Amino acid sequence: MKIKMTRLGLILGCLVCSVFSTAELRIEVTKGADNAVRIAVIPFEWRGRGSLPESVAEIITSDLGFSGRFNTLPVTQMLSLPNTAEEVFLRDWKLLDVEYLVMGYLTERGPDLALHFELYNIYEQTTDISEIIVGSDLDLRDMAHYASDTLYEALTGIPGAFSTQIMYITATGENDSREFRLNVADADGRRIVTVLQSREPILSATWSPEGERIAYVSFERDSRPAIYIHNLVTRTREQVTAFTGLNGAPSFSPDGTKLAMVLSKDGNPDIYILDLKSKPRRLRRVTRHYGIDTEPSWSHDGRSIVFTSNRGGQPQIYSMGLNDLRIERLTFEGDYNAKASLLKDGSGLVMVHRREGIFHISHLDLKRGRLRVLTETSLDESPSIAPNGSMLIYATQVGGRGILAGVSIDGGVKFNLPSNQGDVREPSWSPTKRKNFVPVSK
């Protein structure tokens, strides 16, 4: 299953740099689920004037396809093209062994569009979902992703993540011509916007919980590192730190009021927490060790963090309660465990784990203490969990080039997001949807 996507030049509000990247990402599913659901997404009828800039059915087909949990029927194999349940001839679909139909149509509603979509169960002969959402013609992609999310949740019980975004960093050129970009794209790799462009390194970009702000490390000033908080909505940013030494690994607390980070201003890389609300901002040092402490990541309740430390001789994952600063080692298997993120329910974490000299993304079940390697590629790093908790995206190397790839937490589904240029790295999955819709009554 290979879905090729071409770049779409939709006019989005550009951010600080207002540069559209020419890079393109396209999703290739490399391993689908064993029990993929057979589904047909039937072209949606447009019942208005003129034509629409996007095909809603194509977007939904590619969304469901790249989740790896569905086998989508190509339009060319469909025997009929119903738009409502009343138009369905069951025999047409039973012949093709299709389990579910997605169908619908679009109408004009004042200056806006209304998207009607439904999910039809062939075997039960029931309509499981039927919704109408309204938006402008510029919202068409977002409306289609909303439908994908709704359908995905109805069919799998897991909220969809097709309306979310992915932030990542690209590096092109070598030495003096090296160029770094911080990009934000839709979860399907489309609508790429460059937020920042620099000849000096940009790294460790991370989202705030409300999805409006991002924090990152940039070496743009005198080639020295500093942490910035950048507001994607107001398109403004501020330099938060520029201490001597490391200024790295920013991570927003779950309530968005604090930023954990790594500073080495006091001699060693230690973890600090900056209170963004207090004036002047208070900086609290939470680790004190001559070893390397880095890569803090918050628990969902904001009461503890996990971090990487080589205090035991090699990098391992530790957790620390922020009230008592009590530290507990979490990983014991392997001689290199780093960059951990806790799953929302706290049941486990994902991290970079070295096994036989190869760096993989692994899942550690904290209750059973069981470690599972999720990826078969090498030099894997920067795992970032989707807001639905069921997938994660990470950076890896294929053919000597950095690309993004994804894997489900159960390891059952895998996909690649190859880019047509440069190294792509450090993906970070947005915690929120790009745009949300509320179904309207019929």
Interacting residue ranges for other proteins, rule: CB under 8 A: 171, 174, 178, 201, 203-204, 219, 223-225, 245-246, 248-249, 262, 264, 269, 292, 294-295, 308, 314-315, 336, 338-339, 352, 354, 359, 379, 381-382, 397, 400, 425-426
Task: Look at residue 90 and give its three-state secondary structure.
Answer: helix
Cα 57 → chain centroid: 22
- Strand 316-321 and strand 304-309: pairing? antiparallel
What's the token pair of residue 279?
């004036």
Cα 429 from Cα 393, distance rounded (Å): 7
Look up tokens 């200024």; give the residue: 247
Note whether 57 and 77 are within 8 A (CB): no
Pick from 155, 152, 46, 138: nearest CA to 99 = 155
Least separation in angstroms between residue 23's CB and other proteins is: 18
Measured from the CB atom, is 289 or 435 closer to other proteins? Answer: 289
**Residue 84 CB contacts under 8 Å (≥ 6 apart), including other chains:** 103, 104, 105, 118
Strands (E), 258-315: 258-263, 270-275, 283-285, 293-298, 304-309
Phi, psi for residue 178 in degrees, rounded to 5: -70, 140
Measured from the CB atom, is 150 or 253 closer to other proteins? Answer: 253
H or E stretch including 316?
strand 316-321
Q: What are residue 364's DSSP bridge partners?
A: 349, 371
Cα 421 → chain centroid: 20
Measured from the CB atom, is 135 or 402 closer to other proteins? Answer: 402
Least separation in angstroms between residue 248's CB and other proteins is: 5
Least separation in angstroms between residue 173's CB and other proteins is: 10
Measured from the CB atom, is 314 or 436 closer to other proteins? Answer: 314
Least separation in angstroms between residue 292's CB and other proteins is: 4
Measured from the CB atom, is 65 or 225 closer to other proteins? Answer: 225
Cα 422 from Cα 344, distance rounded (Å): 33
Cα 164 from Cα 428, distance rounded (Å): 11
Least separation in angstroms between residue 264's CB and other proteins is: 6
Cα 205 from Cα 215, distance rounded (Å): 6
Least separation in angstroms between residue 239's CB and other proteins is: 17
Least separation in angstroms between residue 186's CB and other proteins is: 24
Measured from the CB atom, is 222 or 301 closer to other proteins? Answer: 222
Least separation in angstroms between residue 405's CB and other proteins is: 16
Least separation in angstroms between residue 394's CB and other proteins is: 11
Least separation in angstroms between residue 183's CB and other proteins is: 17
- Strand 270-275 and strand 112-121: pairing? unpaired
**Residue 209 CB contacts under 8 Å (≥ 6 apart), including other chains:** 252, 253, 254, 255, 256, 431
Cα 293 → chain centroid: 26
Phi, psi for residue 70 in degrees, rounded to 5: -135, 145
Measured from the CB atom, is 139 or 381 closer to other proteins? Answer: 381
Cα 374 from Cα 381, distance rounded (Å): 12
Cα 79 from Cα 6, distance rounded (Å): 28
Least separation in angstroms between residue 141's CB and other proteins is: 32
Measured from the CB atom, is 59 or 292 closer to other proteins? Answer: 292
Cα 274 from Cα 313, distance rounded (Å): 28
